Amino acid sequence: MKIKIVSLLLVLLSFNISLAQRSKSDTIPPDGKYTYDIAFAEWGGKSMDEKVIVIIKDGVIKVIYDGGGEMISVKKGSVLDEGKILKHKSGAWIISTKENDIDAEEVGGCSDGPNVIDFDKKKFWMC
């Protein structure tokens, strides 16, 4: 019985994270340099004061760690992700390195799929 309850809770948590990662925006922001929060999926989307610099140019995105919090394992200036900006079948914007990423079973958070970027809330999702 406990295993079923835990499984159900994990499914609900995963569903909530998936909803939180969806972007309402239908357009990619104009080319430029932006500051976004890191949204940690394992912490319910909290940023823990961590920031990234998001550079967008011609449909390609680069996400660079800018610090602010206490991510000891990552140095300021490190590239966290880079790739083409695509809309996933779920409606989330993803950072893709291959075209079939739009059909990935899971995206963002702590999944093995491509990372999610929320242009509306200015959040880069990671585990």
Q: Which residue has the higher pLDDT, 16 or 118?
A: 118
**Domain-by-domain residue ranges, the chain?**
2-126
What is the arithmetic mean of pLDDT over 83-94? 96
In the three-class reduction of DSSP (H, G, I as helix; E, B as strand; rest coil), residue 7 is classed as: helix
pLDDT at 67: 87
Does the pTM surpass 0.75? The reply is yes
CA distance 8 to 4: 6
Position 114 pLDDT exceeds 50 = yes
CA distance 64 to 79: 4
Q: Report residue 34's pLDDT band, with 50, 70 and 90 as the boundaries.
A: very high
Find residue 53's DSSP bridge partners. 35, 64
